Amino acid sequence: MFKTRSTTMAAEPRPVPWPDLRQRSLQPELMDAPELVEQDPDLLVRTLKEIDRINQLLGGHRCTLQELEKLLGGQRQRTWRILDVGCGSGDSLRQLARWGESQGYRLSLTGLDLQPLAIDLARELSAGDPLHARIQWICADYRDYTADCDIVISSLFCHHLDDAMLDHFIGWLRQRARYGFVLNDLQRHVLAYQGIRWLTRWFSGSAMARYDAPLSVWRAFHRRELQAAFAAHGLHPQITWHWAFRYGVRGFV
Ligand SMILES: C[S@@+](CC[C@H](N)C(=O)[O-])C[C@H]1O[C@@H](n2cnc3c(N)ncnc32)[C@H](O)[C@@H]1O
């Protein structure tokens, strides 16, 4: 078994150096292995914090905010109920809360994640700031969540799903969202793969991030795959490329 601390680090799994990116990988990420997270909870916490930094430095939050701004279209007279699926440490919603405040939007924000550790971290990082303290955090699998919202958002979530689950998720968000959705995820591209492989190899303190970050790119989608998945539900979202190697998927339901 892969251990994350000290002596057994030699057993750390390594990303495939040059995968065939024409096909999505369905290799599970370490983050999705409950036994590994149980064995070393701190590993998941460190990885989620690194994902926050990647979102900040490599345009993840910018992608979500720009697409959401287009979806909202300047409508400030109502309160928008926004649900972030797979919210992790909650960074996207904290960014969104600040942005909404600065832009004069009334936002009611909820973060949903199946990992109790992620929800604990989101709560901890949001305490102490009155704006962030208003965000609601729920620990659940999205498949068990049945409340409505206006807009479903997600960041780096869709690539965790296999094709059948992506299909399920699109059907689910169509039911849950009353207005629309903004999903941000990676583009499966050789430069994205090699870039994040080397970045995390040099700079990451988390063995999980070093393995999962390139694998996430390999698990991610081409534009045409996203288009086909949504078209199967009669949806034809705008799919916009954002630096660095992100797709912003924006649509009305
Ligand atoms: C790569 S992290 C992204 C975290 C955050 N959205 C971000 O961009 O920083 C993916 C998150 O999705 C969550 N997740 C995976 N499957 C899920 C499911 N079925 N329901 C809810 N959350 C899920 C994981 O627990 C993990 O926290």
User: Long-range contacts of range 93-100, CB-CB < 8 Å, 24 or more positions apart?
Assistant: 93/122, 93/132, 93/135, 94/125, 94/126, 94/129, 94/132, 94/135, 95/61, 95/64, 95/65, 96/64, 96/65, 96/68, 96/153, 97/131, 97/132, 97/134, 97/135, 98/131, 99/65
155 C-alpha to center of ligand 1: Å? Answer: 8
Q: Count CB atoms within 10 A of the CB of residue 6.
A: 6
Q: What 3-state DSSP class applies to 155?
A: strand
Of 163, 169, 171, the closest CA to residue 141 belongs to 169
Q: How far apart are CA 237 and CA 248, in angstroms?
A: 10
Q: What is the CA radius of gyration of the chain?
A: 18
pLDDT at residue number 3: 55
pTM of the prediction? 0.95
Tell which one of 114, 139, 144, 247 to mutate to probe ligand 1, the residue whose CB is within 8 A of the most ligand atoms. 114
What is the rounded end-to-end Cα distance, in angstroms, of the chain?
Answer: 44
User: By alpha-carbon position, which residue is closest to atom 24 of ligand 1?
Assistant: 86
Q: Ligand 1, closest atom to CA 52? A: 9
Tell which one of 157, 159, 167, 211 to mutate to probe ligand 1, the residue whose CB is within 8 A of the most ligand atoms. 157
pLDDT at residue number 6: 39
pLDDT at residue number 73: 96
Q: Which residues line ligand 1 (CB under 6 A)?
A: 51-52, 55, 85-88, 91-92, 112-115, 118, 141-142, 155-157, 160
Q: How far apart are CA 22 and CA 34, in angstroms?
A: 29
The kind and range of the H/E element at 107 are strand 106-113
The CATH fold of domain 23-252: Rossmann fold (3.40.50)
The per-residue pLDDT string of the chain (253 residues; one tens digit each, 9 = 90 and over) reads 555 443 344 478 999 999 999 999 999 999 999 888 888 999 999 999 999 999 999 999 999 999 999 999 999 999 999 999 999 999 999 999 999 999 999 999 999 999 999 999 999 999 989 999 999 999 999 999 999 999 999 999 999 999 999 999 999 999 999 999 999 999 999 999 999 999 999 988 889 999 999 999 999 999 999 999 999 999 999 999 999 999 999 999 9
pLDDT at residue number 2: 55
84 C-alpha to center of ligand 1: Å? Answer: 9
